Structures are given as structure tokens and as C-alpha cells.
């Protein structure tokens, strides 16, 4: 894929993940922050019932995919030499964020499935 297409997918995945939080996960920090920022107080879609996977795991997969794609684009998918360390940054950032939730270092609820889906997002970019 071209760099423009990869960047488009990275941005789109972030937007979709954000929309899931804004529309369906009103008890989260992200929902509260963007509702205040965009003046969307009270905005939520309660009438549509979606699977837990869609609501809780898909946003993590999309965020991981977007972060990995962005870092790979910055390095132009060339990780020779010292660039090899950047290859693992998305894995560490997403995993440590989730583990930080387990120890109340960052807001959120720890879920091992989130780490698994974040890994999937990484793999989709790393091994096309």
C-alpha cells in the first residue's frame, strides 16, 4: 500500500475508535473529555445494543493499529540499524498503558483481552 493510503487507514481507525467512545461508552474519560471539548454533553446512543467486543476491544485494536502504522510510516517501514528499536515501541506503549490500568496508574479498566486485541492491531501492520 502507498504511504497516503496507510496514513488514511491510520486516521480512519482513530476516528472510528473515537466515535465508538463518543457514541456508546459514555462512562469513560475519553467520552467526558471530548463531550466537554466539542460541547456534546449528554450525547450518547443508548438504543443500539452492540457486542462487548465491538464496544470494548475494537477501539483498542484500532488505536494500536493507528499507532503502529504511524510509527512505521515515520520510519518508512525501514528498521535497519537503530530503527529496529522503534519497531517494538507500539507494542510496549499499548501493553504498558493497559497494565497501568491494572495498577491504577492510568484511568480505565484492565482487561487481558485488550492486550490481545492491541497485539492484533500491531500484527496487522507488522506482518501484512
Give the pLDDT score at 31.
46
pLDDT of residue 28: 53
> 94: exposed, middle or buried (C-beta count within 10 Å: 0-12, 13-18, 19+)?
buried
Residue 55 contacts residue 24 (beta carbons within 8 Å): yes
- Structural domain span for residue 81: 3-126
Q: For residues 84 and 71, what is the distance between their CA atoms, to the nearest angstrom? A: 12
pLDDT tens sequence for the chain (128 residues): 588 888 899 999 999 988 887 777 665 545 455 555 555 555 555 556 768 888 889 999 999 999 999 988 887 767 677 777 777 888 899 899 899 999 999 888 899 999 999 999 999 888 76
List CB contacts of 14: < 8 A, sequence separation 6 or more.
62, 63, 66
Cα angle 4-8-14, degrees, rounded to a multiple of 5? 150
CA distance 77 to 128: 12
pTM of the model: 0.78
Number of domains in the chain: 1
Amino acid at each position: 500500500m502507498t504511504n497516503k493510503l496507510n496514513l488514511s487507514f491510520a486516521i480512519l481507525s482513530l476516528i472510528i475508535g473515537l466515535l465508538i467512545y463518543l457514541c456508546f461508552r459514555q462512562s469513560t474519560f475519553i467520552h467526558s473529555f471530548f463531550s466537554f471539548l466539542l460541547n456534546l454533553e449528554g450525547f450518547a446512543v443508548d438504543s443500539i445494543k452492540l457486542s462487548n467486543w465491538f464496544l470494548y476491544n475494537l477501539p483498542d485494536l484500532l488505536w494500536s493499529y493507528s499507532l503502529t502504522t504511524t510509527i512505521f510510516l515515520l520510519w518508512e517501514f525501514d528498521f535497519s540499524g537503530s530503527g529496529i528499536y522503534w519497531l517494538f515501541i507500539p507494542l510496549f506503549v499499548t501493553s504498558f498503558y493497559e497494565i497501568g490500568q491494572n495498577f491504577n496508574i492510568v484511568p480505565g479498566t484492565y482487561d487481558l483481552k485488550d492486550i490481545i486485541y492491541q497485539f492484533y492491531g500491531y500484527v496487522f501492520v507488522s506482518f501484512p
